[in-house]
Amino acid sequence: MAKLSVNINKIATLRNSRGGDTPNVIQFAKDVQQYGAQGVTIHPRPDERHIKYQDAYDLKEIVHTEYNIEGNPISKFVEMVLKIKPTQVTLVPDAVDALTSNAGWDTIKNKEFLKEVIAEFKRNNIRTSIFLDPDLKQVEGAIATGADRIELYTEAFAHQYGLGNKEAIQPYLACATLANELGLGVNAGHDLSLDNISFFKAEMPGLLEVSIGHALVSESLYLGVENVIQMYLHRLK
C-alpha cells in the first residue's frame, strides 16, 4: 500500500486570508493523522504566503507519522530542515514567485549542487527525495546526486487522464520501473485526486507515497475530511 501524506498548505492559505488562526494548521495536522493519514506534508515558501516557517517548527512536535517538508533548498530552507530533522525532505526547484510547483529538477545540470545539499541532509539522517518530471534521463541523473527517492511530478498525467487519455501513464510507468531497478524509491504528487488515484496506483510499480493537498482539501468541502481520507486510503490499497 502506498502511503498517503496530506499536504496542508491550503489550510494555511485559508487561515492567512483572514489574518487569524482559523482554521488552525496544527489542529488540522493532528486530525488528518487521527483519521488515518500516514504523513503530513508542508511546502513553506520564502514569502510565507501559506505555510509559515514557524508552522514548520510547531508541527515537529505533533507529527507522529511521516513529516515531509518540501521546498527549494535556499539557505534559509536548508537551515530550517536541519534544525527540525523531518522524516523526509523533498527538493523542489520552484522559483520564488511560482504560484505552485511547475517543473522538476534538471538532475544533470544541477548534479553538483544537489549532491552537496543531499549529502548534508543525509549526514543528519533525513531521507531525501527529488521532484522530477517523468524523464528517464532525469531519473538516471538522480542516482548520481545520492537521493533516496524521487517524487514524480504528476500534473501532466492528471490533465491527460481527465481528458480520457490513459496512455499518459506510460512515461510515469517507465520512470518508476527504472527507479526500482536503480534502487530509488518512488513518490508522486501534484493534481492527484479521488478521480485518478486508483488508476495511478494500480499502474505504478513500487509506489511508496503520494502527497495530496489541493484536491483532498477541495473534495473535503463536499465530503468531509475524515471521509475523504478514508476514500484515499481505500483507493491506495
Mark whether 43 is an active-site residue: yes
Mark whether 50 is an active-site residue: no
- The residue from 50, 66, 70, 209 that is catalytic is 70
Q: Which three cell numbers stand for residue 214?
A: 489541493
- The residue from 43, 66, 151, 219 that is catalytic is 43
Distances from the Cα of 91 to the Cαs of 36, 102, 128, in angstroms?
Answer: 26, 13, 8
- The residue from 50, 151, 190, 219 that is catalytic is 190
CA distance 148 to 128: 5
SS3 content of the chain, % helix, strand, coil (to 5): 50, 15, 35
71: which strand partners?
A: 91
Omega before 46 within 30 of 0, i.e. cis: no
Mark whether 70 is an active-site residue: yes
CA distance 81 to 125: 11
Q: Are 157 and 168 in contact, with CB atoms under 8 Å apart?
A: yes
Q: Are 148 and 183 in contact, with CB atoms under 8 Å apart?
A: no
Residues annotated as part of the active site:
43, 70, 190
